[in-house]
Amino acid sequence: MPGYSEKLKKIFEKNKIDIGSKIRITTSSRTYEGILMPRTEGKDDIIVIKLKNGYNFGIKYDESIKIEKIEDALKKQEKKLQLKFDKNKPTVYILHTGGTIASKVDYRTGGVEASFGPEDLIEMFPEINDYANIKSKLIRRMFSEDMRFEHHQIMAREIAKVSKECDGIIITHGTDTLHYTSASLAFMLGNIGIPVILVGSQRSSDRPSTDAAMNLICAVKFIVKTNFAGVGVCMHATSNDDYCYINHPCKVRKMHTSRRDAFQPINADPIAKVWFKEDKIEFIRKDYDKKDKNRKIDLKDGYEDKVALVKFYPGFDEKILEFYEKQNYKGIVLEGYGLGQIPINEIDEFTKHNKNNFNILKRMAEKGCIIAATSQTIFGRVNLNVYSTGRDMQSIGIIGCEDMHPETAFVKLKWLLGNFKPEQVKELLVKNLRGEITE
Amino acid sequence: MPGYSEKLKKIFEKNKIDIGSKIRITTSSRTYEGILMPRTEGKDDIIVIKLKNGYNFGIKYDESIKIEKIEDALKKQEKKLQLKFDKNKPTVYILHTGGTIASKVDYRTGGVEASFGPEDLIEMFPEINDYANIKSKLIRRMFSEDMRFEHHQIMAREIAKVSKECDGIIITHGTDTLHYTSASLAFMLGNIGIPVILVGSQRSSDRPSTDAAMNLICAVKFIVKTNFAGVGVCMHATSNDDYCYINHPCKVRKMHTSRRDAFQPINADPIAKVWFKEDKIEFIRKDYDKKDKNRKIDLKDGYEDKVALVKFYPGFDEKILEFYEKQNYKGIVLEGYGLGQIPINEIDEFTKHNKNNFNILKRMAEKGCIIAATSQTIFGRVNLNVYSTGRDMQSIGIIGCEDMHPETAFVKLKWLLGNFKPEQVKELLVKNLRGEITE
């Protein structure tokens, strides 16, 4: 009964309720039915059940609530699938970091903490075994919103390690920060000679509308059937189950809270389309790296902690920039407006604060902080030459980030400052290293 | 010679160059030709010329540069258009705040600071006079990135004042923060009985590809020919010169740095389409307020200064939230991930920082700060019930902002805290007041 209060544990025990049991909860106003879930975080007096529609739902316990068992939890399947290695098939390594993609595993048996073995994966998604021998490893089991660059580093090192034992790697990942991770891995894994495809799922595997299977299967097909090398993101291209996009790791962004085609290309075409039910893969771009298993990865997995992405909005308080100055930040990515400008002009008594933004950034730049300009429009290219504001920004050394969207510019600056000298950083920031800048 | 250094003034004088003169600048490597522009901001030793393509361009002066006059500035047109009031036509009031839309005014005569009279506007855009009597007023001449809520307040008061003298109002505005202003005005101008249409331009009026005329003319047509009341945004719907969208003031966002159709609807249909060359207006939505000149504006133009929009990214430093806590912020709009979640879970040694985010926000909420959750996906609806992270956020009082995108949620919270009591704010934040929340 992990995570539940002593009181609730006693009630569950009395009613012979286990994790995975189907239960009915009756409050004064409503009745809920669902599978009892383990409680891994948060308050221990909230009962979490998985509803029929696949969503988890939490109900705060109080004395007036009635809890009944409707069905026992299923017995754990003891006999595991026997996997055979087929030397005629390529080998794909699946590294799991968390997220909804593999969340089907054994709710009814209470086995959410089950090991992430290749057998479990093939039981969930049998088709992947048709294309490849599957190896797998559980790296973390976390929501992607909790991921930090420390975790990108762990992934990059693990990829470098297992890359010798396989023909391609899949990273299963929560979708929320998947595009930050894909950019980060693209920078960390220089010269990689095999494909590394990030796969997430917007609807968990136990919901009828899940996109988990199609995204994973398309990723395996893409790895096995093409000569692509490098990092990519494989997710639904449309809201139908027709084909996935392989998007560029630095030119993609989660653009919807819930749609299955949330990952859309930004300022660049997707690399390829991979059909789900047909044996069809179409490359939209030709400028990708080709597979070469003999290439040695140039692993540069450093990153600088003191880099911030600072979004502007009307009434932005200059004290926010002062905070970063006092904290000795080494890099600032401004998420400005339009062509990249931020409020720095003094027009009237109200805009003297805007002028202070300029003064503070000037001081920071003089102390060596790298300041980069991007646009909150997300789409389009920054241009600091058009308006006087942009030219004034350039006069203190602020660098326009071309057509990198804010998140990619942020990841790049963090990575550059962790691996190169300050003089090099300025030059490399506006140089296309991984396809992050479209010429 | 406003804004230029004494040295440059002497050189210009010697060569009989005025603002508006066509000049040639020869550096060691290149030759530039263009109209000499006044220098209103920034360093005084940079010569700004308007190139043939309409872009302004700055060249730092040094001794090696050669400056010649090619053509005199045009003489100022002294004789102004004589306007006649036509009592059969409605009256449209144009309030100018700045931006590229009216930037054509008299570069060649040096008259960039010319008064923004109805005659100037009608000279630039003669068609608007076919539809309406034009009145106008210059409120400010500023880049929209410099606008603060103080300026929204000035606009709202001016609108309330002139609303009695006209049938509709147009606000000409820089595009960079136009969507913040439109949301702000929608909230400030309760119960308004006439249309208030914001119009910007992505390409200035002196460029062949300008969108200024079409956007302004479509706005005038929409005001004159329909029964719409309330705030709207009139900009190109596509990159062709075919029709404009009238977008909802709270459901629109600048989504491209430079395209003319940068303003796209977010999580809602546009209100209407207005064709440029045809006499055709089509309402896409029917749920708009109808004109009623007798209605009294409920002007609520307060706003709270201490509200921040805080965007998350991997590695987000908990000290940033501590800063807002120390500064006694009254409202925080979190720009989180996916369905609205932010990093608050402790998974391993690295994510203890994430856990601190939770602790700091909990303390802030306990002290009365209103904390609201939005998503950096921009599109889609926030839902804090799906994952345990969201439920934990709710447990400390964090409020999910439904389908408001971050900028609209930020403007709304700032406005609510400036006009209502804290208890009311929580309730009103998730209540649809102006069409900002789609049911």
DSSP helix/strand/coil, A13: helix
Is A311 in Cβ contact with B309 (below 8 Å)?
A: yes
The single residue listed with the structure tokens 């994952």 is: B387
pLDDT score, position A141? 86
DSSP 3-state assignment of A144?
Answer: helix
Rg (CA), chain B: 25
- Distance CA(B336)–CA(B299), nearest Å, equals 32
Stretch(es) of chain A classified as CATH 3.40.50.40: 307-429
Nearest to B305 among A177, A315, A327 (CB): A315
Q: Catalytic one among B91, B97, B172, B175?
A: B175
Q: What is the pLDDT of residue B29?
A: 86
User: Is some CB atom of chain B closer than 8 A to the CB atom of A61?
Assistant: no
pLDDT average, residue stretch A374-391: 94
B 283-322 residues with CB < 8 A to A? 303, 305, 307-309, 311-315, 317, 319-320
- A50, A141, A148, best to mutate vs chain B, most B CBs in 10 Å: A148
Residues of B in Cβ contact (< 8 Å) with A388: 40-42, 48, 56, 58
> For B311, which of A305, A314, A335 is closest by C-beta distance?
A335
The CATH architecture to which B6-71 belongs is Roll (2.30)
Amino acid B100: pLDDT = 72
Q: Please name the residues between 192 and 231 in chain A that touch chain B, using a CB distance below 8 Å.
A: none
pLDDT in tens, chain B (439 residues): 667 888 999 999 999 998 888 999 998 888 999 988 877 666 778 898 888 876 778 888 988 899 999 988 876 555 667 788 999 999 999 999 987 776 554 444 444 444 467 787 887 888 999 999 999 998 988 899 999 999 999 999 999 999 999 999 999 999 999 999 999 999 999 999 999 999 999 987 666 678 989 999 999 999 999 999 999 999 999 999 999 999 999 999 999 999 999 999 999 999 999 999 999 999 999 999 999 999 999 999 999 999 999 999 999 999 999 999 999 999 999 999 999 999 999 999 999 999 999 999 999 999 999 999 999 999 999 999 888 899 999 999 999 999 999 999 999 999 999 999 988 999 999 999 999 999 8
**What distance in Å separates the CA atoms of residue B7 and residue A350, rounded to the nearest whole number?**
32
Q: Where in chain A is the domain with CATH 2.30.30.520?
A: 6-71
Q: Is the pLDDT of residue A115 over 60?
A: no
**Does pLDDT of A37 surpass 90?**
no
Can you list the alpha helix ranges (DSSP code H) found in B279-335?
318-326
Question: Looking at residue B203, what is its pLDDT?
Answer: 84
Is B167 a catalytic site residue? no
Q: How far apart are CA A372 and CA A407, in angstroms?
A: 12
* Beta carbons of B137 and B91 less than 8 angstroms apart: no
Burial track A114-127 (b if 16+ CB lie within 10 A, e otherwise): eebbbebbbbbbee
Q: pLDDT at position B112, please?
A: 41
Query: How far off is chain B from A74, nearest CA to CA, in Å?
Result: 24
Class of residue B29 by CB neighbours under 10 A (exposed 0-12, middle 13-18, buried 19+) = exposed
What is d(CA A155, CA A164) in angstroms, rounded to the nearest whole number? 15
Q: Say which of A143, A327, A345 has its CB closest to residue B389.
A: A143
**What's the pLDDT score for residue B77?**
56
| Delimiting residues of CATH 3.40.50.1170 domain(s) in chain B | 91-299
Q: Identify from B347, B355, B381, B392 which residue to disrupt to test chain A contact, counting A C-beta atoms within 10 A and taking the largest count.
A: B347
How many C-beta neighbours within 10 Å does residue A173 have? 29
Cβ–Cβ contact B238 with A under 8 A: no
A151 vs A6: which has the higher pLDDT: A151
Strand ranges in B248-360 using DSSP code E only, listed in sequence order: 252-254, 263-265, 272-275, 281-283, 289-290, 298-299, 307-311, 331-336
Between these two residues, A182 and B388, which has the higher pLDDT value?
A: A182
Helices and strands in chain B: count of H runs, count of E runs: 11, 22
Type of residue at B114: A
Active-site positions of A? 100, 175-176, 254
Interchain contact, A148 vs B338, CB within 8 Å: no
pLDDT at B110: 42
Confirm or reject contact between B176 and chain A (CB < 8 A): yes
CA distance B286 to B153: 29
Q: What is the pLDDT of residue A105?
A: 43
State the CATH architecture for B307-429: 3-Layer(aba) Sandwich (3.40)
CB B222 within 8 A of CB B246: yes
Q: Is the pLDDT of residue A74 over 80?
A: no
Which of B143, B345, B380 shows the shortest C-beta gap to A41?
B345
**Predicted pLDDT of residue A77:** 56
Read off the amino acid at residue A145. E
Cα of B252 to nearest chain A Cα, Å: 12
CATH, range B91-299? 3.40.50.1170
Chain A nearest CA to B107, separation (Å):
16
* Residue B100 appears among annotated catalytic residues: yes
Segment of A122-136, A396-410, B96-110 carrying the highest mean pLDDT = A396-410
For helices B149-162 and B178-188, give the axis angle rounded to 10 degrees: 50
B151 at A interface, C-beta within 8 A: yes
Nearest CA-CA distance, residue A374 and chain B, Å: 10
Cβ–Cβ pairs < 8 A, chains A and B: 229
Interface test mutation site (partner A, options B48, B176, B342, B394, max chain A beta carbons within 10 A): B176
pLDDT of residue A50: 83
Contact B175 A150 (CB under 8 A): no
**Total Cβ atoms within 10 A of residue B314:** 26
Closest to A175 measured CA to CA, from B380, B404, B391: B380
Give CA B69 to chain center in angstroms. Answer: 37
Residues comprising chain B, all counted:
439
B378/A146 Cβ within 8 A = no
Instruction: Identify the pLDDT of residue A106.
Output: 45
B184: Cβ contacts below 8 Å, ≥ 6 apart: A314, B149, B152, B156, B303, B411, B414, B415
CA distances in angstroms from B82 to A411, B85, B123, B125, listed in the order given? 59, 10, 11, 15
Is there a contact between B258 and A380 if contact means CB atoms under 8 Å apart? yes
Q: From CA B262, how far away is CA B254, in angstroms rounded?
A: 5
Best probe of the A interface among B142, B388, B414, by most A CBs < 10 A, is B388
Which contiguous run of DSSP H or E holds residue A217? helix A212-225
Tens-place pLDDT, residues A257-316: 999 999 999 999 999 999 999 999 999 999 999 999 999 999 999 999 999 999 999 999
